[in-house]
């Protein structure tokens, strides 16, 4: 991929380089990475040009802000060759399967007891409640993404610009071979499939990505506790560590945190 060749005339990228994945094949270059911190204006310009050039911009942060290798991006700790296609997976089936796996009671669990595990997902317990309904967008998804990108860069001034050849942000994670949730599912295409659904239902846009973190803008956040609880269930199935190891230790508390919030952030241990 030569990003310069795909961008419209007059779009000048900052200095950067193609990253070769270290996944074993050695010839794949799934990501272009800037040499220096990204600017919000450049991210917004590239996002607006995505429909023309097919390159999705990502704001990338490393495992450690002082890491000279800028892991995983700068050193190619990426595995695109291992991933399937997001289109091979059904989001509803994935979420239901993950929910079943993470609510299963196991007395040998080293994180939570069986009783604690069921309490976390009350009032649903082990019963998957189904996906949350589509919501009307309260803002333009792309405008919200640009607004959040500016906030994200204020909080992460060391973030660099990445470019991935992909039809959208959800697919970009698979295209670059991001391994963030590998401790739960080492095929990132499954997460991309759910994100595709969130793009359609809630106006989600993938903005920032870290070693094992994901940062999304949201154009249709829940505005009632009922809607927020349904969304919280999806979040738990997607990323149980948000609740198991987060500040909100059950679905009800986590749901309150989601009310009218235009960004979602995930972290996998």
3-class secondary structure per residue, 72-126:
CCCCCCCCHHHCCCHHHCCHHHHHHHHHHHHHCCCCCCCCCCHHHHHHHCCCCCC
Structure tokens at 71: 């892991």
Residue 6, pLDDT > 60, answer: yes
Edge-to-edge, what's the strand order for the sheet holding 263-267?
16-19, 31-37, 160-165, 55-60, 205-209, 213-217, 263-267
**Per-residue pLDDT, 31:** 95
How do beta strands 31-37 and 16-19 pair? antiparallel
| Higher per-residue pLDDT: 10 or 238 | 238
**Per-residue pLDDT, 64:** 87
Cβ atoms of residues 176 and 30 within 8 Å: yes
Report the distance separating Cα 189 and Cα 180, nearest Å: 12
Cβ atoms of residues 144 and 205 within 8 Å: yes
**Per-residue pLDDT, 80:** 95
| Residue range 41-80, pLDDT digits in tens | 999 999 999 999 999 999 999 998 787 899 999 999 999 9
Residue 111, pLDDT > 70, answer: no
Query: pLDDT band at residue 7, thresholds of 50, 70 and 90?
Result: confident
| pTM score above 0.75 | yes
Residue 108, pLDDT > 70, answer: no
Give the pLDDT mean for 149-178: 97
Report the distance separating Cα 241 and Cα 55, nearest Å: 30
- CB-based contacts of 131: which residues, under 8 Å, 6+ apart? 91, 92, 95, 197, 201, 230, 234
Angle between helices 91-103 and 188-202 (to 10 degrees): 120
Structure tokens at 214: 């994901």
**Per-residue pLDDT, 109:** 60
| Residue range 82-91, pLDDT digits in tens | 999 999 999 9
| Residue range 152-161, pLDDT digits in tens | 999 999 999 9
**Per-residue pLDDT, 66:** 80
Give the pLDDT mean for 112-128: 83
State what percent of residues in the chain have pLDDT above 70. Answer: 93
Mean of per-residue pLDDT scores for the chain = 92
Query: What does residue 146 show for φ and ψ, rounded to 5 degrees?
Result: -65, -40
């Amino acid at each position: 991929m030569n990003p310069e060749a795909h961008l419209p005339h007059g779009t000048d990228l900052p200095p950067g380089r193609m990253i070769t994945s270290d996944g074993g094949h050695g010839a794949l270059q799934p990501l272009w990475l800037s040499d220096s911190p990204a600017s919000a204006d450049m991210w917004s310009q590239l996002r607006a040009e995505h429909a023309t050039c097919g390159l999705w911009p990502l704001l990338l942060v490393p495992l450690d802000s002082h890491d000279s290798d800028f892991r995983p991006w700068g050193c190619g700790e990426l595995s695109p060759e291992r991933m399937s296609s997001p289109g091979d997976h059904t989001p509803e089936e994935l979420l239901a399967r993950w929910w079943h796996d993470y609510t299963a009671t196991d007395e040998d669990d080293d994180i939570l007891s069986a009783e604690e595990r069921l309490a976390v997902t009350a009032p649903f317990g082990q019963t998957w409640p189904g996906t949350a309904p589509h919501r009307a967008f309260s803002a333009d998804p792309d405008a919200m993404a640009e607004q959040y990108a500016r906030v994200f860069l204020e909080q992460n001034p060391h973030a660099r610009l990445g470019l991935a050849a992909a039809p959208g942000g959800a697919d970009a994670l698979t295209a670059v071979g991001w391994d963030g949730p590998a401790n739960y599912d080492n095929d990132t295409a499954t997460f991309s499939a759910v994100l595709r659904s969130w793009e359609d239902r809630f106006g989600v846009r993938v903005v920032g990505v870290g070693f094992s973190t994901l940062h999304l803008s949201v154009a249709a956040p829940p505005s009632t506790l009922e809607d927020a609880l349904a969304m919280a269930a999806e979040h738990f199935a997607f990323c149980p560590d948000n609740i198991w190891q987060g500040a909100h230790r059950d679905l009800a508390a986590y749901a309150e945190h989601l009310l009218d919030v235009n960004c979602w952030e995930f972290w996998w241990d």
